[in-house]
Structure 1
Amino acid sequence: GLMRQELQLITTCEHLSEITKLGFAECQLGSGDAQMIAECPFFSQVQSLSFYINKVRASGMVALLSSPHLALHELRLDYNAVGGGGLRGASFDIPPTLRSLELRGNNLEDVDMQSLFGCEGWGQLEVLGVSSCKFGDPGAKALADGGLVSLKSLDLSHTPIQTQGVIDIAQSTSFQKLESLNLFGCTFGPAASFVLAAEGTLPSLKQLSLSTYELEPEVIEQMAFAPALDEATRRACMERMSLSRLAWRAKNLGIPRAHALYKHELIPEIIKHTLG
């Protein structure tokens, strides 16, 4: 890890004032260290700042976003123990230069998302990553209502959001410029898949990512025709559609698991009834 005295030395070096990219990966930095960096006047040229796997927590994040010295374009706080209700009631002065924010793997709960994106100043953000966080549908609703009108890429993979959260995201009037939406690992029902696959939903969307093995057969069948799916996922959906239909047929015949079909003597009849 980076020792406190070493960090203090870095923040007092005036010759570092030309640095535009700064990263602290796995340095065991805490919220106080983030505060120290936020208060350093020599980092005014830093455009990209990363704290990959540290513990800056909620207070450190607030300090970095509200720093009068930093004019960040990109802030990465992957796996930094941000959240857990720690952002409740916090206020932010979002840098007008900020274009990309990565919060993957943090403890962001619904209340944290509501506080964070309930603040103004997100209209310039283009890339947001909140994968593997803890918020559900209320947090997704906060995102949808957060005024992120310039957002082009949104990563919601491996979050607990479900049907209503996906619908709120898909129907948000703020996401007219959204080009990439990652829902891999999210579980949602037919109502959400119907909205996602509908013509006119998220008009700029070019890439939609999802996992085929965690969704209901009805959802897979609808999503297989969603225009923004990449070819590999579309093919996986098509394959999964056939397997799911066979599984349904197998269940009706009293076969509990889909893979049992391949050993079952009635497989030709099942295929005939399913596909023909």
Structure 2
Amino acid sequence: MAENLQQVKKRIKTADSIAQITKAMEMIAASKIKKAQTAVEKNKPYADRVKFIVQKILAENTDLAAGSSFIGLNKNSKKKLVFVISSDKGLCGGLLANIYKQVYTNVTKDDYVVTIGKKAQNFCIKNGYNVKASFNMGSSFPKYESIFPMLKIMQNLYETKEISAVDVIYTNFKNRLVQEAVTKALAPIEKDEHFVNKGEHVFEPSSKDVLNSLIPYYFEAMFYNMLMNAYASEQAARMSAMSNANENAKEISASLTIVYNKSRQEKITNEILDLANGQIH
């Protein structure tokens, strides 16, 4: 029996509409990823240089741990603060699922959680995590000044010794095809045992003063770099997901068109046979 042609025709129209929508969303993500990728690439040398100077000072001065509450482990608390960076919207493939896996693995219910992105906020609240504050990720490129209230929370908790460490869960942008959900330590600043001390530098007025002045910029540079990576990863993942969805919608439309044509041909053939049988009788 031939399929209901009207239903098949309606399904073809629906698939074509989905293909148009996903194509538009793919193009929007593609336009955003170009700006985000450029920003990530331009910011990386600055962040790397700030990190290098901090590690150089720590490598040359073993007695600076007591100079700042952000250097060295705070043993008075076992809690930590975890920033969870996600998107505000879905439709970005497995990006959110990978972020959630990192949360399950690296965050306890006693830890303080600050979410950036509505998806992370909803997930953490639903699963009973101790959400201390929430911020929206937004649909446009994150502004530098947006990180100040986030880092202020970290500073307050760390200086009052309520936490011993700060971690950030986000998606690291490697390229347009590869994005990796990771958990990285932001504080305390620990000496890198693999650091290679290159070049001679003179710090004025002293290494300790330079380090204390540089620490705020260190956290800003590291955290903003993570935020930019998360945004770039979101756009890349959405572009890839919408491209796949677009191809799937086209394939469904093509297969339904074949079904429609076969059903229509079958219906015509049956009508001709009925006419022929009527003439014979």
TM-score bracket, shorter-length normalisation: under 0.3
TM-score (norm 2): 0.23
If you compute each CA radius of gyration, which structure gives the higher value, 1 or 2? Answer: 2
Greater RCO structure (CA 8 Å; 6+ sep): 2
TM-score (norm 1): 0.23
